[in-house]
Amino acid sequence: MKKLLASKKKLFSMVGILSIAVISISSTSFATSFTGGRSSANFNAYYDSSVSTNGYTSAYDTARSDWSAASGSVNIGKTTSTSGTPDKYYVGSTATSGLLGVTTPYNTSGGVAGVSDRWAFATVAIYHNQMEAFGMNSAQKTSNATHEIGHTLSQAHPSTSSSSVMKQGIQSIGVQAYDKQSLIAKWGN
């Protein structure tokens, strides 16, 4: 009987330790990045005239700054030239109800790239008419821009209970601790 109890205690101890190890690993693992993306997290962004016309310069500036501050390996600059391969930021309208924005990556030949492909640049469009239809305030619009720019850094939609700007939907947050950890897992600190 004593042997059986000792065996059970040992088993429960091992299960407990294994459970803690699994929880520790899963809480520090971030599978929220695309396998593809650009070769570097240092790039420039060009703002189309639609950005200032619609009043979103500050939203995009804040979004770029938040991501750049999250990791020393990330630097999203701003350029006034479309030459080379800067990302291109737009503000537009869409007839697709509920679509707040979209990020489209491109390869070196200018074709649309997939999330597991190597990208040369991306376009980011946020949709003014949809944000207005939802009555989004300035913080929510900035959060939307931050979310879309996150995709240009190969950040995917996470399935986590943690707070994350990369979750789909209307939010009024910037880059969160979870996002920062995911970004560092992809690009380094």
Q: What angle do CA 104, 34, 56 make, to 5 degrees?
A: 40
Q: How far apart are CA 108 and CA 116, in angstroms?
A: 14
Say yes or no: domain 42-184 is CATH 3.40.390.10.
Answer: yes
Q: How far apart are CA 133 and CA 41, in angstroms?
A: 33
User: pLDDT tens for residues 19-57?
Assistant: 323 322 233 344 489 999 999 999 999 999 999 999 999
Tell me what pLDDT residue 32 has.
85
User: pLDDT tens for residues 66-121?
Assistant: 999 999 999 999 999 999 999 999 999 999 999 999 999 999 999 999 999 999 99
pLDDT at residue 154 is higher than 90: yes
Tell me what percent of the residues of the chain surpass a pLDDT of 70.
84
Tell me what pLDDT residue 30 has.
46
Torsion of CA 163, 98, 63, 184, to 10 degrees: 50
Tell me what pLDDT residue 23 has.
29
The mean of the pLDDT values for the chain is: 88
Q: How far apart are CA 43 and CA 120, in angstroms?
A: 10
Tell me what pLDDT residue 165 has.
98
Q: Say how many C-beta atoms besides its own lie within 10 A of residue 44's C-beta.
A: 17
22 is written with which tokens?
């699994």
Task: Report yes or no: 138 and 59 within 8 Å, Cβ to Cβ.
Answer: yes
pTM of the model: 0.84
pLDDT at residue 8 is higher than 50: no
pLDDT at residue 162 is higher than 80: yes
* Burial profile 102-113: b = 16 or more Cβ within 10 angstroms, e = fewer: bbebbeeeeeeb
Task: Report yes or no: 116 and 143 within 8 Å, Cβ to Cβ.
Answer: no
Q: How far apart are CA 139 and CA 55, in angstroms?
A: 13
